[in-house]
Amino acid sequence: MNDPNGLVYFKGEYHLFYQYTVNSTSPDFPHMHWGHAVSQDLVHWNELPPAIAPDKDGAIFSGSAVVDINNTSGFFDQEGSGLVAFYTNEGNQAQPGKPQVQSLAYSRDQGRTWTKFEGNPVLFPASETPDFRDPKVFWHEESSKWVMVLAARDRVEFFTSKDLKSWSYASEFGSKVTGVHRGVFECPDIVQISVDNDPNKTKWVLILSVGDLNGESGNDPEPPAGGSGMMYFIGHFDGQSFVPDKAIESIDDIQWIDFGSDFYAAVTWNGIPHEDGRAIWIGWMNNWRYAKELPSLEWRGNMSLPREIQLKAYPEGLRMIQKPVTELGKLRNPILNLTELTVNAGDNPLSETTALKAEIIGEFEIGSATEFGFKVRKSSSQETVIGYDVVKEELFLDRTNHGSSDFHRDFAAKHTAPLKSENKRIQLTIYLDGSNIELFVNQGSIVITDLIFPDFESQGLELYALGGEVKVISLQINEITGIWESKPI
């Protein structure tokens, strides 16, 4: 599995569709389906049969889904409303030089079965291009129109519609933006988010995934951890065009979403009720630099935890922050609580604690230590280090000694992010789940998402300090219970 698709909330269910190659542990793009799972709480998922299969129009690449509440499409006369999915047909033969086109399907039974529109494809690129994909469709209230944003190689293009079937070109963004074109644009999204949780103050955030050059040289900068990655722009959207608040004039102006390798193609759920008000998304935990070479056996690819995204005002400007959804609290089983503890070099207050699936929440006050943090999935020969370099004012996740790395030369690496302490304090929230680490720092202002592949037996934990002492204001470790009825292998 790879990109999440068709994220939509409808009649009490969160739908998660995703790129899925049936009966294969390797991406097989000509045979790509939409897989399907549903949840009532974003935590426990029920996998359903694949939803949309490839046919004469081509493979089923990424896209989105909407709730057609007012039946603008005319597909739901009896039901009154239903789901409409938009996806890219890859390998389409209808027009030479235009292999990627946009099509739609609709469901009258809450997404259990889908009917492809007889008028497919509904949108072709204006000129020959191999890259014209990943439509994200949403209702723009102010203009009373449906809006589609999709990736067209070095730009995103906006289209509008009244009925979800006939689309008109509106504008483009990105082709003239400096420093962002190292790879092909993919999986765009645009969402309106409140600033500092003030519903009367909102901004539009345009989100782009940027592909990898597969090790080739390029003039524009790589994402922080190399390979593929995600960036965002804050600005204004009037239903026709997006205008960023700030021009991108140098590398330092690019806002990256994740400082790890393995968070990509994230998109937000449509249809979240107004009374909820959250912007929630999920991403594919992988990187196109090595996605086809992971040391996986019976499966390949997984999703991140669902996250809420917010905008927060800092002295340097507005920034996106990410927080795991509160529903994850259902999985907590507390196993350790510590407060007001001083850790010196050589100490390990967690020497008797092990963890394969855990939530670790710690707040630290910087003392004389030059570095401090955690070593997770630890054994005599393996460990992954999550720490803070006090001298460099740098957060890091070091997976150079995590376990199996020989499948790709770039996997074993130390990923870093600049981070100044707040009143000499650092707050870390770590989600550890088998081969996954999701790290949220200072309430989600910095995020590092990484895969690791240690031996199953490597489950030790260490809380360490180097060169002096660090004070633990609080530390909570919770076991995270599994979401599946059967025990995972």
Which residues fall within 8 angstroms of residue 105, CB to CB, at 6 or more apart? 52, 84, 85, 87, 114, 115, 116, 117
d(CA 357, CA 430) in angstroms, rounded, equals 10
Instruction: Check residue 218 and give its pLDDT.
Output: 61
User: Token digits for 340?
Assistant: 């007001």
> Is 347 one of the annotated active-site residues of the chain?
no
Closest CA to 82 of 60, 127, 113: 113
Average pLDDT of span 438-467: 97
Amino acid letter, 238: D
Closest CA to 30 of 7, 56, 63, 48: 56
8 A C-beta contact, residue 375 and residue 384: yes
Instruction: Check residue 477 and give its pLDDT.
Output: 98
8 A C-beta contact, residue 61 and residue 53: no
Q: Provide DSSP, 137-163.
A: EEEETTTTEEEEEEE-SSSEEEEEESS
User: Token digits for 460?
Assistant: 């030790």
Instruction: Check residue 488 and give its pLDDT.
Output: 41
Active-site residue identified among 3, 57, 212, 262: 3
User: Token digits for 392?
Assistant: 């460099």
User: Token digits for 74?
Assistant: 């005319």
For residues 325, 326, 329, 334, the Cα torsion angle rounded to the nearest 10 degrees is 100
Domains of the chain (ranges, CATH numbers): 4-324 (2.115.10.20), 331-480 (2.60.120.560)
Query: What's CA 427's distance to the chain center, in Å?
Result: 22
Closest CA to 458 of 390, 395, 378: 378
pLDDT classification of 449: cutoffs 50, 70, 90: very high
d(CA 395, CA 404) in angstroms, rounded, equals 23
8 A C-beta contact, residue 174 and residue 156: yes
Q: What is the pLDDT of residues 399-435, one digit of tens each?
A: 999 998 899 999 999 999 999 998 999 999 999 998 9
- Phi and psi dihedrals of 222, rounded to 5? -75, 160
Closest CA to 264 of 279, 244, 281: 281
User: Token digits for 82?
Assistant: 């239903």
Average pLDDT of span 427-455: 96
Instruction: Check residue 28 and give its pLDDT.
Output: 76
Instruction: Check residue 298 and give its pLDDT.
Output: 79
From the number of C-beta atoms within 10 Å of its C-beta (0-12, 13-18, 19+), residue 143 rates as middle
Candidate from 6-10, 27-31, 266-270 with smallest mean pLDDT: 27-31
d(CA 95, CA 104) in angstroms, rounded, equals 18
Q: What is the pLDDT of residues 197-225, one digit of tens each?
A: 998 999 999 999 999 975 454 678 889 99
Q: How far is CA 229 from CA 17, 257, 287, in A?
A: 21, 8, 8
Q: What is the pLDDT of residues 256-293, one digit of tens each?
A: 999 999 999 999 999 999 999 999 999 999 999 999 89
- Phi and psi dihedrals of 456, rounded to 5? -60, -35
Closest CA to 49 of 17, 73, 96, 81: 17
Strand (E) or helix (H) holding 87: strand 83-90
8 A C-beta contact, residue 38 and residue 14: yes
d(CA 353, CA 438) in angstroms, rounded, equals 20
Q: What is the pLDDT of residues 354-378, one digit of tens each?
A: 999 999 999 999 999 999 999 999 9
When computed from its CA atoms, the radius of gyration of the chain, rounded to whole angstroms, is 23
Using left for φ > 0, alpha for ψ between -120 and 50, and beta otherwise, residue 245 falls in: alpha
d(CA 265, CA 75) in angstroms, rounded, equals 29
Reported pTM = 0.95
Using left for φ > 0, alpha for ψ between -120 and 50, and beta otherwise, residue 440 falls in: beta
Query: What's CA 283's distance to the chain center, in Å?
Result: 3
pLDDT classification of 348: cutoffs 50, 70, 90: very high
Count of CB atoms within 10 A of residue 276's CB? 10
Q: How far is CA 242 from CA 61, 149, 204, 380, in A?
A: 25, 10, 8, 53
pLDDT classification of 487: cutoffs 50, 70, 90: very low
Nearest-5° Cα angle at 82, 78 to 87 = 135
User: Token digits for 87?
Assistant: 């996806």
